[in-house]
Chains A and B, each alone.
Chain A
């Protein structure tokens, strides 16, 4: 299952990038209802958005961002650009996804 979905559309020289990550974004405060124990924190901490290999946005993310994080950005670009989203979480796990600007 794709962990990072990227959709990018160009209009009037501006590219609108929307991405959807698959991630539980656990704050570490939630209790497991059956055991009563706190579910450990597990959330995306860093986000990099690249256009044609060049970083355009670098985000620091907290656990208060919703589960399955959605992000949207805009930059000056063109159809055919490659947009790449890279994320890293507090456990050191990382993933990325790419899309071509339409």
Chain B
């Protein structure tokens, strides 16, 4: 998993946000480039790169429904607070045309926790890949979808 530049190198977003507020720096410039290649990748290898999903870890608690009645809104919770030094949490929906759903860079002092809701077109694995202490780990869970979430 490639390390993402935090606001183009600066974790202290304060200076950048004041500059944005003052109209000196557009939000578009301040934010690092959206990683189009990994976001649009059609498979896990494209989405995750050479690091892949790493070793399975029972310290990552991945909450996702066994059966999602509505594929348009599937809640996924990732609690990786059992791992030290979490720097990235990435969520993937293996059966989606582009598996990458979201990737969060976690600053120091911020818990290794992220939750959101995703669209799932059909049944498949929800995968959480976590980078902690420089190593890559994952947890996954199969979610059965009764009505696909991509609007037909």
Contacts and interface: CB of A to CB of B under 8 A. Distances in A.
Interface in B37-82: 39, 72-75, 77, 81
A73 B109 CA distance: 12
B147 interface: no
A35 B103 CA distance: 34
Contacts of B34: 45-46, 60, 90
A78 interface: no
Given A45-B34, A84-B17, A59 B103 contact: yes
A83 to B, nearest CB: 12
A70 to B, nearest CB: 5
Contacts of A29: 97, 150-151
A interface bracket (residues with beta carbon within 8 Å of B): 35 or more
Contact of A66 (B7, B17, B73, B81): B73
Interface of B: 4, 6-7, 10-14, 16-18, 27-28, 31-32, 34-35, 39, 72-75, 77, 81, 93, 96-98, 100-107, 109-111, 113-119, 149-152
